[in-house]
Amino acid sequence: MHREPLLRLLDRFLAVHSEDRARLAPMLDFVRGRADCFSRTCLEGHVTASAWILSPDHRSVLLTHHRKLDRWLQLGGHTDGDTDVFRSALREAREESGMQGFRPLPDVPDPLPLDVDVHAIPTRGDEPAHLHFDVRFLLVACSDDPFVVSAESHDLRWVERERLHELVDEESLLRMERRAQQALRARVQQT
């Protein structure tokens, strides 16, 4: 079944982040119950993929001022039917930044998500309110290549991680930052 790889990934994620079990229960139910969960045509919601992107020196995070939602967010978006959420997160990072070189942290072939979040998207035009079941990965930019603001954004900005709270107060973004800090500490301890 095309949903099995995502369900296995979420099980691996929960083995590390058991504290997220209650928050992820709606996503697991949704993915198990909806064969069309990767498609935008699923009106109650769909699986999305995004990336918390660190600068090469790990001091900053790349944020987009989202055009439709009018707030600062991580880069990401719809999987558009792609059942490989990591591949979708990479594609979205490249499309929304114009940058090409990213690597996951840790740099392994089948990375675990940094975070998983379910959040509501408000009604906009003909599009009804719906849920995004977002699978988020930690990426590091491989170079200081300049970024390009896409049509989906008002702005892109490298934000110093220690000043992140000046720009965002949304818990799910702050949670990604806390988990990025943990991942970097674990990486240092392993070396």
**Which of 87-91, 107-111, 139-143, 149-153 bottoms out in mean pLDDT, i.e. has the lowest?**
149-153
In the chain, where the domains are located: 4-190
Q: What is the pLDDT of residue 180?
A: 97
The residue among 110, 109, 131, 111 whose CA lies nearest residue 43 is 131
User: Using one digit for the tens of pLDDT, what is the confidence trace for 44-101?
Assistant: 999 999 999 999 999 999 999 988 778 899 999 999 999 999 999 999 999 999 999 9
pLDDT for residue 12 is more than 90: yes
Please give the average per-residue pLDDT across 156-163, as a whole number: 96
The kind and range of the H/E element at 21 are: helix 21-33
- pTM given for the model: 0.95
CATH architecture group of domain 4-190? Alpha-Beta Complex (3.90)
Q: How confident is the model at residue 1 (pLDDT cuts 50, 70, 90)?
A: low
| pLDDT more than 70, % of the chain | 99
The 3-class secondary structure across 64-132, one letter per residue, is: EEECCCCEEECEEEECCCCCCHHHHHHHHHHHHHCCCCEEECCCCCCCCCCEEEEEEECCECCECCEEE
Mean pLDDT across the chain? 93
